[in-house]
Structure 1
Amino acid sequence: MQNADVIPSIVMSAHALARFAAQDAGNEAPSAQWRALGILERQGGMRLGALALAARTTQPGMTRLVGALEQSGLVSRSTDPADTRATLVDATDEGLAHLRAWRAEMRDTLAPRFTDLDEDEWAVLRRAAGILAAHAQEPTTTGEPA
């Protein structure tokens, strides 16, 4: 595999694993829910439009998702103190607990797919996970990793 092909392969494999985990666990929550909660976990409260942009969805789509998440108690909305016309969205403690539970469920559901790995392979995956996490940081306004 060429160096240029490694990153797309990792991304596609990660998407497939997330899909398998949801299917195998019977988790019917939309992946957009976990993506939005993960963004809010990392970045804290943000305007709905900024959340839509970060999640790569439309503002109307995010408005619908946030409405459903709010009804479920997973996010809250408040007035932006910097602009009272705008609304901030933030994950609730319950939302963050649901996100942690989903991550644990994903881990436990996918674990059987990896039982054949030896310690050297686990070391490679731990190293790759660290590298990927370092490069998956949200950019700051200066373009530097957060």
Structure 2
Amino acid sequence: MLTEPISLPLRDGVDSEAELRFLLGDLAQLSGRVTRLAHRLAGGSEGPATWRTLAVLQTSGPMRLGELAAQSQVAQPTMTKIVAGLVEREWVKRIADADDARAWQIGISAKGIIQLAEWRDGFATALLPLFDDLDADERDTIRRAVDLVRPRITQAYTLPEKTTRKTND
């Protein structure tokens, strides 16, 4: 187990683009750690992919299984199992695809929305002891950061896939 912090490159004297790149890297890495910690502290029998799937459906609306698998970052056979469990619990519903009578879309149900909201509350409650000592200015800093990040991430999810990633093409 790693007990010593990893030494990061010195950031003094870097240009503004490099500084932003470092900050975004830190934010992404820390966000992932916070998510994993909250999931561990909150417990529960559902895996992160289940909650990610419900969140994708709530944010993006109904979609086909393959697209849902890609958005949730799991393989299609894994998504098939996740969706089967969610259908059984009535957290999602199958919707006939208007563009292809042979295909189905998956949409979140009212029960799924309620379960997702309860899970998010439990998630936040599990983290509360780590942050309950923040003063009003520190809470405002987190609020401002959320307000700054949220619209950019929301916009990225509405753009075509190619525009959200830089490639070497």
TM-score by length of 2: 0.78
Query: Which amino acid letter does the alignment assign opposite residue 139 of structure 1?
Result: T
Separation (CA, whole Å) in 2 of partners of 1:4 and 1:141: 22
Task: Determine the structure 2 residue equivalent to 1:82.
Answer: 99
Offset from partner CA, 1:102-128 (integer Å, 9 cap, x none): 111111111110022221111111010
Identity of aligned residues (%): 30
Deviating above 2 A after TM superposition, structure 1's stretches of 4 or more consecutive aligned residues are 139-144
Structure number with the higher strand fraction is 1
* Equivalent residue runs for 1:123-142 within 5 Å: 123-137=140-154, 138-141=157-160
1:98 aligns with 2:115: yes
Q: RMSD of aligned C-alpha atoms?
A: 1.8
SS at match of 2:29: helix
Larger radius of gyration: 2
Task: Determine the structure 2 residue equivalent to 1:28.
Answer: 45
User: Out of 69, 78, 87, which is 1:70 matched to?
Assistant: 87
How far off is 1:78 after superposition?
Answer: 2.4
1:50 aligns with 2:67: yes
How far off is 1:28 after superposition?
Answer: 2.7
Separation (CA, whole Å) in 1 of partners of 2:89 and 2:158: 30
Contact 1:22 1:28 in 2 (8 A): no
Task: Determine the structure 1 residue equivalent to 2:27.
Answer: 10
Task: Determine the structure 2 residue equivalent to 1:120.
Answer: 137
Which blocks of at least 5 consecutive residues in structure 2 are unaligned? 1-10, 12-18, 165-169
How far off is 1:90 after superposition?
Answer: 0.5
Contact 1:75 1:89 in 2 (8 A): yes
Which blocks of at least 5 consecutive residues in structure 1 are unaligned? none
